[in-house]
Structure 1
Amino acid sequence: MTTSTSVQDAVEAETQRIGRELWAQLERRRPTVFERRWWLDHILEWAMADESIKVQMFRFVDVLPMLRSHESVARHLQEYFNEVRGHLPWAAQLGLDVSQPNSLLGKALALNARTNARKMAERFIAGSKVEEVLQSVSRLRKQGLAFTLDLLGEAVISEPEADAYQQAYLDLIEGLAPQVNTWPENRQLDRDEAGWIPRCNVSLKLSALCSHFKPVDPEGSAEAVKQRLRPILRAAREQDAYVHVDMEHYAYKDLTLEIFKQVFMEDEFRDWPDCGIVIQAYLPEAGDDLQGLLEWARERGTPIWIRLVKGAYWDYETVVAEYRGWPCPVYMEKWQSDDNFERQTQFLFENREWLRPALGSHNLRSLAHAMAWAKQLDVPEGSWEIQMLYGMAEEQQLLFSEMGYRVRVYTPFGELIPGMAYLVRRLLENTSNDSFLRHAYDTSVNVDDLFRKPAEVGARQAAGTA
């Protein structure tokens, strides 16, 4: 749909107004020194300040689950951080100097490192058992926040692992949904203009339901996935739960979309609206994929939810494409992904009758732009939602919730050791040079730059003035 220049200008002006109001409110909502999160935030802030320290810290966190002894932990600490010792505070340098791996001090250093890494992981991971997960999502609920749960783990490479992944979701739905469904109603979280919204919301990866998820064998992969997916969907319908299909790297995108369309067009699930899928705005194909889903949803006759995100596999996609000599499937510049996110946000709002918008972002510019388009198109607050990551941008989550928006927190659960890879991804995302969250720690940030229109950012970069 073509939008007139006057409408675009009005939306941009409203985006700037809303964005600055949000920024001003967040400036007054920072955690205090008496909160544990303040200390964890400042560890991240320290890591952000020096690229060399950040790399070594994340290398250590990534390898930590494989280290079985205090001695090996201390040895890796020394090996990694001796490379950047000149960048460390004097106390940290002293600790490395006096603590030999097999000494008492070395064991103390290793224990402290493992404890701190675990505490940081607990910030981003909700628990490993249904009881722990229930406690975590109950806390979110008390804060006025909804949730979606995602099981952590490495790639599935055997049928027993695929069975275990399926069983974990069956256990979660059957164990959690009856309990959360007894909570007192919160209209902001539990209803939209179409009616009831399931409280128990889970997100899963189709590739984890099949040990041979291969785009070169679409029919075989689809049948294997659907055999394990259908019981999860039946359990969800029985327990009034919601199921969302996550998107992974580009090679799996088309097969994931095709399986999603096949199973939710089946007679058993065709009339079920409590389902959705992810679309990644860092892919230039996102617009075409949304158009295809719109046409499919109209044929289906029942709407679905779309979680629009920027995308979390940029490094992987660019490295694989370069290594294999393939065209890169993702935008190479962040402003391009941001610009596409804004275009597809408008598309979702214009077609919300069939594609119900769930915007996954911590970027205030992106969210202010969404709020501006919602106002322009008279979209009710309850007919779309904001989604953010567990353990990140808590002030933003609460601010949007208090403003009347439904905020859903993407909440990983599972064993901490398999979850370490997820933790590293979240830390890298949180501390990337272009991350909006990174700027939240920077008191010298230029607000005009933060809220600059993505296309203008691109133009300034091309002109060498950015």
Structure 2
Amino acid sequence: MTDWDSLDNGKYRDEAAVIADLLAAAPMSSDDRAAVRAEAEALVRGARRSVRKQGVVESFLQEFSLGTREGLALMCLAEALLRTPDDDTRDKLIAEKIGSADWASHLGGSDSLFVNASTWGLMLTGKIVEPDDQAQKDLPGFIKKIAGRLGEPVIRAAVGQAIRIMGEQFVLGRTIEAAIKRAASDGDICSFDMLGEGARTAADAQRYEKSYADAIETVGKLSNKAGPEAGHGVSVKLSALTPRYEATQEARVWDELYPRVLRLALIAAKYDINFTIDAEEADRLALSLKLLDRLCREPELGQWTGLGLAVQAYQKRCPEAVARLVALSKETGRRLMVRLVKGAYWDSEIKRAQVAGRPDYPVYSTKPATDLSYLVCAKALIAAAPHLYAQFATHNAHTLAAVVRMSKAAGVKIEHQRLHGMGEALYKAADDLYDGITLRAYAPVGGHEDLLPYLVRRLLENGANTSFVHALLDERVPVEKVVVDPIDAVEAHPARHAKIPTPIHVYGDRRQNSAGVDLSIKAERERLTAAVAALDSETLSAGPLIGGKLVAGGTPLPVVSPADHGRVVGAVSEAQLPQIDQAFKLARAAQPAWDRSGGAARAKVLRAMGDALEANIDRLIAILSREAGKTLSDGIAEVREAVDFCRYYAVLAEDQFGDGEIL
């Protein structure tokens, strides 16, 4: 098996260094770049001409972008309803979000009947009716009056239905049979995804496996042996097949998850359809590649060419991952289908890295850097034919034009992909401009209970003002501003995003974030487990510290690990009453000098303590593991909390115990 763990060596590389490598890769010549820009502008104009093909969700996002108070109200409402367990609280949320927004300003703002009808629906809490006299005289008051009727199930049901209607534009059908029927009527080739945001229990995992198995069987039986390229396929989220899809549980992944994935892959191979492993969080990249590696070597899968994986261009490791996939295909003799996406978890990756105290981000901090990475990876995928079958998922006209030009220059057949409910106008324009393209729709399938999480992610991904999807069909945005060459953009601003500091500096110049340990990286796990094991050869002892010196206390008492009562960690000698009295005397004597030292001196001591704790994090985690029975992740959290407290109170000491102020 390939050493996929070493891929993590580049997980947190300096962004400037990675970008320099991307620019050096020179994915296109200057002549090609000029041609791509011209074609991309033609695509935008063509998409705007075919505005009748615009999806209702695109119309909705264009009118209610996340840059408006109303768009944010909808986003907050949809996201909050996911976590609201009772009807009373849902009613209050609906009243607050719907009643506080200026929906009237959006009436007539869009040519889409759906958007204007939705506006009235939101104004009248789900009732698409003509406004009465009161509404015409005092529309804001009328809206708030209706939205304020808490406790009426009709209001709650109406808003829930409105969100479901919007969400269902992204979902092809509630069942795989309904989805296939609708795809046939639309004339689309699809990659079906059974909705579900990850298993939390073993029962969840079993339910999702059955859902995927049924879907693969149904798609396979109706495929008429079209093959992985020409027929429908199924995309699988590995996190839906086990509640513990994480690197720290790798042994369990092999015991529980891999057999499930293999069973599903065998069904797909039997019918010769496409079976793609979806991309998920950055912490799971190496693990997903290990699973794919083993599948590639399964004799039971024969010469099947439908096995695939999605890779994310916003990850700094993406170019290296693509290179290793090419090597894997050559080594095993199995052609792989590789879907290149830009990535749908950017906001989560940024936040997770900040909260966890990572040395940097696993993803780029700017969108142009991601777009450039996409082009570099696209060039590598196209060059890897026939070992890899390249699938390009994008709603960006420049990216689309670039991959078409690269593939034509190489004489390689490629596949384009779009999300169901999005991109119809753009790809209609592309089909016209390029005299036909191979297009597949990524089509979620599922019921209302699984819809909202997917909807929220799509809205976050595409609803921002800076989103290409938002600007594409907006006639107010000049075409030349819609089409941006990422090479030009990155060369003009090669640095990381100015407003996104590294995770360590997220609190500003005065307070450094505590450094964490990334347990998804094998080398980090091995370092900590080695520290814990090394502690077993020691006999720890603890006693009273008086005046900065360790002194003998009472009779040493054994300390036993709560996780293993047969393991004696060490011994503790407790302070006696005379020693306690002495400690208080010394503290009282030291207090006046400490009081006079001022805030700056105290802050220096606190920061030094925080730095010392952080420098000894491995040993402290080992002691916590043995003495308190803590897991590695709990130990990391405990040490980091102590470090954060020291640094937080250092800032407070400077602010509140510095020079006095005259009030």
Does the pair score TM above 0.5? yes
Q: Does 1:278 align with 2:310?
A: yes
RMSD: 2.9
Residue 3 and residue 130 in structure 1: after superposition, are their counterparts in 2 closer, same or farther (change >3 A)?
same
CA deviation digits over 1:30-51, x for unaligned, max 9? 028xx9x55x544322211743
- Match in the other structure for 1:130: 176
Matching residue within 444, 458, 465 for 2:490? 458
Computing the radius of gyration over CA atoms, which structure comes out larger, 1 or 2? 2
- Kept in 1: contact 2:50–2:425 (CA 8 A): yes
Matching residue within 146, 166, 185 for 1:99? 146
Give the TM-score normalised by the residue count of structure 2: 0.62
Structure 1 residue 100, shift from structure 2 partner: 5.4
Q: Where in structure 2 are the equivalents of 1:315-464 lying within 5 Å? A: 315-326=347-358, 327-379=360-412, 383-401=413-431, 403-461=435-493
- Match in the other structure for 2:325: 293
- Kept in 2: contact 1:173–1:200 (CA 8 A): no
Matching residue within 218, 234, 251 for 1:175? 218
Deviates more, 1:65-74 or 1:171-180: 65-74
Structure 1 residue 226, shift from structure 2 partner: 1.5
Residue 5 and residue 240 in structure 1: after superposition, are their counterparts in 2 closer, same or farther (change >3 A)?
closer
Matching residue within 232, 256, 261 for 1:229? 261
Residue 174 and residue 2 in structure 1: after superposition, are their counterparts in 2 closer, same or farther (change >3 A)?
same
- Match in the other structure for 2:39: 18
Matching residue within 310, 330, 342 for 2:342? 310
- Kept in 2: contact 1:303–1:356 (CA 8 A): yes
User: Quick one: higher RCO (CA 8 Å, sep 6+), 1 or 2?
Assistant: 1
Structure 2: segments with no counterpart, 5+ residues: 1-21, 108-119, 124-139, 498-663
Structure 1 residue 71, shift from structure 2 partner: 6.1
Equivalent-residue separation in structure 2 for 1:72 and 1:431 (angstroms): 26
Deviates more, 1:283-292 or 1:23-32: 23-32
Residue 41 and residue 369 in structure 1: after superposition, are their counterparts in 2 closer, same or farther (change >3 A)?
closer
CA deviation digits over 1:336-369, x for unaligned, max 9? 0000001111111111211211001000000111
- Kept in 1: contact 2:216–2:268 (CA 8 A): yes
Q: What SS does the corresponding residue of 2:476 show, helix, strand or coil?
A: coil
Structure 1 residue 441, shift from structure 2 partner: 3.5
Structure 1 residue 207, shift from structure 2 partner: 2.2
- Match in the other structure for 1:80: 97
Q: Does 1:164 align with 2:207?
A: yes
- Match in the other structure for 1:116: 162
AA at the equivalent of 2:277? V
- Match in the other structure for 2:52: 31
Equivalent-residue separation in structure 1 for 2:66 and 2:322 (angstroms): 38
Structure 1 residue 301, shift from structure 2 partner: 0.8
Once the two structures are aligned, what percentage of the paired residues are identical? 23
Equivalent-residue separation in structure 2 for 1:302 and 1:103 (angstroms): 60
Structure 1 residue 399, shift from structure 2 partner: 3.5
AA at the equivalent of 1:197? E
Residue correspondences, number: 442
Residue 462 and residue 9 in structure 1: after superposition, are their counterparts in 2 closer, same or farther (change >3 A)?
closer
Residue 411 and residue 272 in structure 1: after superposition, are their counterparts in 2 closer, same or farther (change >3 A)?
same
AA at the equivalent of 2:184? S
Residue 314 and residue 103 in structure 1: after superposition, are their counterparts in 2 closer, same or farther (change >3 A)?
closer
Residue 378 and residue 10 in structure 1: after superposition, are their counterparts in 2 closer, same or farther (change >3 A)?
farther
- Kept in 2: contact 1:317–1:329 (CA 8 A): yes
- Kept in 1: contact 2:419–2:443 (CA 8 A): yes
Structure 1: segments with no counterpart, 5+ residues: 183-189
AA at the equivalent of 1:359? F
AA at the equivalent of 1:79? E
Equivalent-residue separation in structure 2 for 1:263 and 1:361 (angstroms): 27
Equivalent-residue separation in structure 1 for 2:204 and 2:25 (angstroms): 52
- Kept in 2: contact 1:305–1:355 (CA 8 A): yes
Residue 117 and residue 95 in structure 1: after superposition, are their counterparts in 2 closer, same or farther (change >3 A)?
farther
Equivalent-residue separation in structure 2 for 1:69 and 1:101 (angstroms): 17
Structure 1 residue 73, shift from structure 2 partner: 4.6
Q: What SS does the corresponding residue of 2:436 show, helix, strand or coil?
A: coil
- Match in the other structure for 2:195: 152
Structure 1 residue 236, shift from structure 2 partner: 1.3
- Kept in 2: contact 1:152–1:422 (CA 8 A): yes
Equivalent-residue separation in structure 2 for 1:20 and 1:340 (angstroms): 21
Structure 1 residue 75, shift from structure 2 partner: 2.6
- Match in the other structure for 1:187: none
CA deviation digits over 1:399-445, x for unaligned, max 9? 33453211100000112222201011111222123211111232122
CA deviation digits over 1:46-77, x for unaligned, max 9? 21174332222111122335668876554322
AA at the equivalent of 2:473? Y
CA deviation digits over 1:13-38, x for unaligned, max 9? 22123212212211210028xx9x55
Equivalent-residue separation in structure 1 for 2:296 and 2:186 (angstroms): 30
AA at the equivalent of 2:377? Q
Q: What SS does the corresponding residue of 2:301 show, helix, strand or coil?
A: coil
AA at the equivalent of 1:96? I
Equivalent-residue separation in structure 1 for 2:428 and 2:224 (angstroms): 23
Structure 1 residue 257, shift from structure 2 partner: 0.7
- Kept in 1: contact 2:100–2:144 (CA 8 A): no
